[in-house]
Amino acid sequence: MLAPLQGLTNRATRALFIDWVRPDVVFTEFMRVSSVGRKHLSRNDLKEAASTNGKIPLVAQLVGNSGEALVTAASNAETAGALHINLNLGCPYGRTASGASGGAMLKYPDLLAKMIPALRQVISGSFSIKLRAGYNDPEQIFTLLPLFAEAEVDFLIIHPRTVVQKYAGTADHTITKRVVHETTIPVIANGDIRTATEGLRLLEESGAAGLMLGRGAIADPLLFERLRKCNTVEPTETETAFMLHHYLTDLLNRYRELFCGERQILDKVKNVLSFIDMQAFSMQITKMKRVNNIADLTALIEELKFIDE
């Protein structure tokens, strides 16, 4: 699965990944559910939730803090055409205008005990939950598993850090393994999967039903291909340069169609560049992040074709 990453997995990025590396499942960026209004989702989000992705399932991810609003929003998203709904209980930065949401919702287990069965009741398609191991206690998830099972959640996506950790330290996938063995719900492992070796080892050791790739995939989309082929040989610098040239050229072209104005296009591309942390290409990436116009960015991308080991 391609993870939902705010500001990154817009429909242009998703289309690029689908056309190139074919993830099995893709997610929208999270859709903020307002506690006011009739539909609780913006018109653009409702349109996004129903978009098609070349036969690749699209999951609409909701984030909010009002159980009633989330239930109405999920129902409206399905009416608009969404086939798969996910509840975000993991984002350490998630907020709506009316307060904390995302991972912060783990501070309110009594609210979750009412919200999750109510969501299951109105969602006719698949209903999944993406969550951290806990708010500040990595054992919290084990207290929630009976709730998820009773509500017949279709699958769980586990990022085994706490919310307060944000992205510090490392994801503790011994927790993922324990969750897999303590629930009959399929579990997708997420967090710190940067190489095919790491991903394949995690699948084998945890027994997880699959992987969700986030920052690792944005840095290197071909990670999907290596995992699918069980290829643990890391690419050479020449191969990586070729990948980056293809990736950034295609991304820039798609962003020019989706976004308006040179500044917005550059900012969106630079957001992707901030995730590409390959040491061998740090000089080239740094230069790209400093450009002030698309012409200069294009010239730097073209230089990647001439990198040889």
Over its C-alpha atoms, the chain yields an Rg (Å, rounded) of 20
Percent of the chain at pLDDT above 90? 85
Q: Return the structure tokens found at 94.
A: 């998630």
Q: How would you label 187-219 residue by residue, b for 16+ Cβ within 10 Å and e otherwise?
A: bbbbbbbbebebbbebbeebebebbbbbbbbbb
pLDDT score, position 97 = 43
Residue 222: phi and psi, rounded to 5, are -70, -5
Query: Residue 39 pLDDT more than 80?
Result: no
62-111 residue pLDDT tens: 999 889 999 999 999 999 889 999 999 998 875 544 467 899 999 999 99
In whole numbers, what is the pLDDT of the chain averaged over residues? 93
pLDDT at 308: 72
Task: Kindly report the CATH number that applies to the domain delimited by 11-228.
Answer: 3.20.20.70
pLDDT for 4-14, tens place per residue? 999 899 999 99
Cβ contacts of 166 within 8 Å, gap of 6 or more: 92, 93
Would you state the pLDDT for residue 231? Answer: 96
Q: Of 59 and 47, which is predicted with more confidence?
A: 59
Read off the pTM: 0.94
Residues 274, 270: Cα–Cα separation, whole Å? 6
Q: What is the pLDDT of residue 166?
A: 92
With beta carbons less than 8 A apart as the criterion, state whether 28 and 85 touch: no
Is the CA virtual torsion 135, 138, 139, 145 positive or negative?
Answer: positive
What per-residue confidence (pLDDT) applies to 96?
A: 45
